[in-house]
Structure 1
Amino acid sequence: MKTLIGGAVAAVLGLIGISIWWQPFFNLLAGTIPVLLLAGGGLALYLGFDELKDTWKKGDDTEATEDDDAGSYKQKIDELEKKIKTLESKEA
């Protein structure tokens, strides 16, 4: 309940303060918005570049693992074919 009352009082005082000091408030806002846009844009560029580097690394890793996987599968297939031939020769 105290939080609700404190929030209501703060909102009313904020509205009164903006109505009295509207010009300094808008000057402060006009100076703050470009700085926030610059910081947000820089952060977005950094995160986008970091994500792009991750996709490049994943692309390199998948090519190498696909070749390794293909080789290991071929070996397993060859081994299984040999086992099948030995089992067929034992049955005959």
Structure 2
Amino acid sequence: MTTAFAIRTLIEIAAVLFVIFGVLHEQKFIDFEDKIIRFVAKRIYLRKRKKAIAKKRAAQQARRQRERELEEQRHAKIYRYVA
């Protein structure tokens, strides 16, 4: 028995048990499905939000860096004439 076949067999057994449990305890199974769906949806939402915040933060840092460079150039021009 290969490892792949053993894993496939275990997955098939789990699927059959889920079907039997679902038939016998339909409302509990529906509640379980809803809980899993909420968990996955929350994870997707949080991942998208985290990426958006990181992207916004990176854009702000790049803008600040450009502003600092421009300010340094302005100071360099001013002090070049003064010194």
Same fold (TM > 0.5): yes
Q: Which moved more, 1:40-49 or 1:52-61?
A: 40-49
> Gapped runs of 5+ residues in structure 1?
76-92
Asked if 1:5 corresponds to 2:5, the answer is yes
In the superposition, the TM-score normalised over structure 2's length comes to: 0.62
Q: What is residue 56 of structure 2 aligned with on the other side? A: 52
Q: What is the total number of aligned residue pairs between the two structures? A: 73
Q: CA RMSD in A?
A: 2.7
In the superposition, the TM-score normalised over structure 1's length comes to: 0.57
Taking the TM superposition and a 5 Å limit, the aligned residue runs for 1:1-92 are 2-22=2-22, 23=26, 24-66=28-70, 68=72
Q: Which amino acid aligns with 1:19?
A: V
Structure 1 residue runs of 4 or more that deviate by more than 3 Å after TM superposition: 66-72
After TM superposition, give the deviation of residue 4 of structure 1 in Å. 1.4
> Gapped runs of 5+ residues in structure 2?
none
After TM superposition, give the deviation of residue 13 of structure 1 in Å. 0.2
Q: Which amino acid aligns with 1:30?
A: D
Query: Aligned in 2, Cα 1:6/1:29: closer, same or farther, shift over 3 Å?
Result: same
Identity %: 8
